[in-house]
């Protein structure tokens, strides 16, 4: 799957691209522990029951089992499920690991996993069904079909349906507020459309493709507007039921215990994850059922006697959608299709095989879906963590299948990890590289050294952290270190921007993948006094739900920082929406810091303006749809009984408490207690009593309730 460090929903994180990998964010951390002993469900070897002329793939399956066992153990992933498919049949399906650490229950091939962004392929198929019925033209503006759609940038009227499906709309990225939840809830797509109504475009529609979840989420209201049917019901009626996928579903209600693979925190089984962006990443399925979808695609839109799409629609989905885009500092080798992350997956293209591929990652699950149309092969793999290497396993299994059927003569060898010959870098070459660069998750700095090498540093926790390895000019004109010679960097300028480009090993390591890694930042005028006063302060989330995983996992704080080497910018970090050291240009206004990156493919995804709003004399911060109030003005409650009112907007309320004693709550929906560093101490719903932290200088209480609720708080 993965070539880039990326947040869910989307590609899983691959640290190899980062010259200085930092701390992995909460949603990238594995929420599991080691599995004591490998448990396997009984294999489903359907291929062995067919005619003798059918390829058995015994060696491929044996290798896959061993590789999956290693991945389970090495990454503390609880469970993995996989299926290998050809045009006519499900060749092999098997599930591995455990789904209950107490009973040691194993998953089966019918166990549900959330397939994350692989769900986007269902959104594309749903759209293409409407295209074939004459209800949608891909190249007509979205507003033609969805009149309520609007944005702050007037160019929003140019956003077409095709742009939603090819990541080229120009939307800021992903509204992560409440996207992952511990309970079912409607309304997320409406939230996204409401957020877009006041948002700016980050680039002109169609100018480039950069991964964008919100574009796919907008397929939900589009489908409902055109059909009068909810998106989930339309997908069930028009795709899942006709294809014979009865278990596949969106998490509209809680699933029966044991029917799905849960995530774990330590030895504790986590609550079911509800991904509320259905079209972007919310489908639960099994590899065996996704095999039926794959066979439909392999057969030009038809499964057995059931036709879902015409061959032309399947071909259009697999067409490179980036060829005519203006901003391409380096060719996207994979090439976005409609929904597909790539229509020529690099590891298979290296052996002369075309493969379409889609990765999916949520806060719990990691998946990959590969379809090799000319070979009549496909692979679906999913697991209950994001770190087990789903894309590498998928590539490995398909390469072995190609070898076993004699389509290739040998498995490709890894690119040698040998430094290219050094060249003497000129002052001009070094100065072209030197500077501060940014991507959506932080900053990188290149500095010229006396020995004509480049020192590379990453900005983390308010300081530049240098890599011990320096970058040297090589004979091919790129810069790389002796320690990681296949991680090469160079620059390119296009459309008025300068980019740091990267070449990194991909997949099984036999190909090198190129992408725009970061954008050079040009210093601006110094921050105004208003922005300077905000640096280092904290704001607290007030409009996320108590059951949002962003809140459940403890993230509540928003902070602003400056960069000494880069005047005019601020770095925004917001724990509950997985935003860390994201750069914004604050040089043009005292109240708006604008998203300022235009990086195609992945490193310019999920951006937001930072807006300062004055409420009752306080400076609040809005980032996307998320709202934060200043910590500085949180009222303190002492010993005694107090009344806390939830206002007309329904925002949660914060209070500061002593650290010793206990607190009793009544009249609210839910509550969360934090220590002075905002580490979660306790939480509950409705009424309850709990001890205060007993350490530090203060504690913080977060209260949730209905509009105008009067919540009683007794501190003893």
pLDDT, one tens digit per residue, over 12-51 is: 444 345 655 443 333 332 222 222 223 333 334 333 333 3
Nearest to 271 by CA among 711, 685, 651, 689: 685
CATH code where residue 663 lies: 2.60.120.380
Q: Which value, to the nearest 10 degrees, does the dihedral of the CA atoms of residues 121, 122, 125, 129 take?
A: -170
pLDDT for the residue 50: 33
pLDDT for the residue 329: 85
Residue 74, domain member (yes or no): no
pLDDT for the residue 20: 56
pLDDT for the residue 554: 67
Q: At which of 300, 316, 332 does a domain end?
A: 316
Residue 324, domain member (yes or no): no
Parent domain of 550: 529-630
Q: Tally the domains of the chain.
A: 4
Q: At which of 630, 645, 663 does a domain end?
A: 630
Residue 465, domain member (yes or no): yes
Does pLDDT of 277 surpass 50?
A: yes
CB-side neighbour CA atoms (13 Å) of 452: 10
- Averaged pLDDT, 589-615: 97
Q: Is the CB of residue 634 less than 8 Å from the CB of residue 655?
A: yes
pLDDT for the residue 19: 58
Give tens-digit pLDDT for 181-235.
Answer: 999 999 999 999 999 999 999 999 999 999 999 999 999 999 999 999 999 999 9
Residue 102, domain member (yes or no): no
pLDDT for the residue 18: 60
Provide the β-strand partners of residue 454.
448, 471
Do 497 and 543 belong together in one domain?
A: no
CA angle 363, 274, 654 (to 5 degrees): 80
Does pLDDT of 2 surpass 90?
A: no
Give tens-digit pLDDT for 325-376.
Answer: 999 888 778 899 999 999 999 999 999 999 999 999 999 999 999 999 999 9
Does pLDDT of 236 surpass 60?
A: yes
Provide the β-strand partners of residue 651.
none
Does pLDDT of 407 surpass 60?
A: yes
What b-and-e string marks burial along 184-219, b requiring 16 or more CB atoms within 10 Å of the CB? eeeebbebbbebbeebbbbbbbbbbbbbbbbbbbbb
Residue 180, domain member (yes or no): yes
Backbone angles phi, psi at 712, to 5 degrees: -90, 135
pLDDT for the residue 668: 95
Contacts 24+ apart (CB under 8 A), 242-247: 242/306, 242/308, 243/292, 243/293, 243/296, 243/303, 243/306, 243/308, 244/289, 244/292, 244/303, 245/285, 245/289, 245/290, 245/292, 245/293, 246/289, 247/110, 247/112, 247/285, 247/286, 247/289
Residue 325, domain member (yes or no): no
Give tens-digit pLDDT for 113-164.
Answer: 999 999 999 999 999 999 999 999 999 999 999 999 999 999 999 999 999 9
Does pLDDT of 313 surpass 90?
A: yes
Do 118 and 235 belong together in one domain?
A: yes
Nearest to 321 by CA among 598, 124, 505, 149: 124
Q: Is the pTM of this model over 0.85?
A: yes
Nearest to 170 by CA among 687, 487, 645, 607: 607
Do 545 and 688 belong together in one domain?
A: no
Q: At which of 585, 607, 630 does a domain end?
A: 630
- Averaged pLDDT, 61-69: 98
pLDDT range class, residue 90, cuts 50, 70, 90: very high
Q: Is the CB of residue 80 less than 8 Å from the CB of residue 71?
A: yes
Do 159 and 303 belong together in one domain?
A: yes
pLDDT range class, residue 266, cuts 50, 70, 90: confident
Do 141 and 219 belong together in one domain?
A: yes
Residue 67, domain member (yes or no): no
What is the average pLDDT score of the chain?
91
Residue 120, domain member (yes or no): yes
Do 138 and 214 belong together in one domain?
A: yes
- Averaged pLDDT, 422-439: 96
């Amino acid at each position: 799957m993965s070539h880039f460090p990326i947040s869910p929903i989307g590609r899983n994180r691959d640290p190899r691209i980062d010259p200085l990998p930092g701390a992995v964010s909460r949603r990238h951390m594995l929420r599991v522990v080691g599995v004591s002993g490998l448990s396997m469900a009984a294999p489903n070897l359907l291929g062995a029951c067919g005619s003798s002329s059918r390829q058995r793939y015994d060696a491929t399956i044996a290798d896959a089992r061993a590789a999956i066992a290693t991945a389970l153990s090495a990454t503390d992933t609880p469970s993995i499920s996989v299926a290998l498919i050809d045009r006519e049949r499900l060749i092999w399906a098997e599930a591995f690991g455990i789904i209950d650490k107490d009973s040691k229950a194993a998953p089966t091939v019918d166990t549900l996993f959330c397939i994350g962004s692989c769900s986007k392929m269902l959104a594309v198929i749903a759209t293409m069904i409407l295209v074939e019925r004459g209800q949608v033209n891909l190249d007509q503006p979205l507003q033609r079909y969805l009149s309520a759609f609007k944005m702050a940038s007037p160019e929003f009227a140019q956003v077409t349906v095709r742009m939603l499906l090819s990541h080229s709309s120009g939307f800021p990225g992903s509204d992560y507020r409440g996207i992952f939840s511990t309970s079912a809830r409607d309304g997320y797509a409406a939230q996204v459309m409401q957020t877009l109504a006041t948002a700016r475009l980050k680039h002109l529609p169609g100018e480039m493709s950069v991964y964008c979840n919100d574009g796919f989420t907008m397929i939900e209201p589009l489908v409902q507007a055109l059909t009068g049917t909810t998106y989930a019901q339309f997908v069930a009626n028009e795709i899942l039921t006709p294809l014979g996928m009865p278990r596949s579903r969106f998490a509209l209600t809680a699933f029966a215990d044991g029917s799905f693979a849960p995530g774990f925190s330590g030895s504790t089984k986590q609550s079911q994850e509800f991904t509320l962006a259905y079209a972007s990443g919310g489908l639960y399925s099994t590899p065996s059922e996704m095999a039926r979808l794959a066979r439909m695609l392999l057969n030009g839109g038809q499964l057995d006697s059931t036709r879902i799409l015409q061959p032309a629609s399947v071909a259009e989905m697999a067409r490179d959608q980036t060829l005519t885009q203006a901003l391409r500092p380096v060719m996207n080798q994979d090439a976005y299709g409609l929904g597909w992350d790539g229509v020529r997956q690099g590891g298979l293209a290296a052996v002369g095989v075309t493969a379409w591929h889609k990765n999916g990652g949520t806060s719990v699950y990691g998946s990959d879906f590969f379809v090799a149309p000319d070979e009549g092969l496909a692979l679906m793999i999913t697991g209950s963590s994001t770190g087990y290497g789903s894309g590498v396993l998928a590539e490995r299994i398909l390469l072995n299948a190609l070898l076993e059927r004699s389509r290739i003569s040998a498995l490709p060898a890894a690119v040698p990890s040998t430094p290219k010959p050094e060249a003497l870098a000129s002052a001009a070459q070094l100065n072209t590289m030197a500077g501060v660069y940014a991507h959506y998750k932080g900053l990188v700095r290149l500095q010229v050294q006396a020995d004509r090498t480049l020192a590379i540093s990453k900005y983390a926790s308010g300081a530049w952290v240098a890599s011990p390895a320096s970058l040297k000019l090589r004979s091919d004109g790129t810069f790389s270190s002796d320690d990681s010679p296949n991680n090469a960097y160079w620059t390119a300028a296009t459309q008025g921007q300068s980019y740091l480009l990267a070449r990194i090993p991909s997949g099984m390591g036999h190909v090198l993948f190129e992408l725009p890694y970061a954008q050079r930042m040009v210093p601006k005028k110094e921050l105004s006094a208003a922005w300077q006063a905000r640096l280092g302060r904290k704001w607290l989330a007030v409009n996320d739900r108590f059951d949002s995983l962003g809140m459940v996992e403890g993230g509540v704080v928003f902070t602003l920082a400056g960069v000494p080497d880069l005047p005019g910018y601020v770095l925004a970090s917001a724990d509950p929406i997985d935003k860390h050291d994201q750069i914004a240009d604050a040089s043009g206004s005292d109240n708006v810091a604008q998203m300022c990156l235009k990086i195609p493919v992945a490193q310019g995804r999920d951006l937001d303006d930072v807006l300062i709003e004055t409420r009752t004399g306080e400076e609040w911060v809005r980032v996307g749809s998320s709202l934060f109030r200043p910590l500085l003005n949180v009222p303190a409650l002492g010993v005694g009984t107090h009344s806390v009112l939830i206002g007309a907007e329904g925002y949660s309320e914060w209070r500061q408490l002593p650290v010793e004693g206990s607190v009793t709550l009544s009249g609210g929906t839910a509550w969360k207690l934090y220590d002075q560093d905002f580490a979660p101490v306790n939480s509950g719903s409705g009424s309850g009593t709990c001890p205060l932290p007993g350490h530090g200088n203060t504690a913080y209480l977060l209260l949730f309730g209905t509009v105008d609720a009067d919540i009683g708080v007794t501190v003893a």
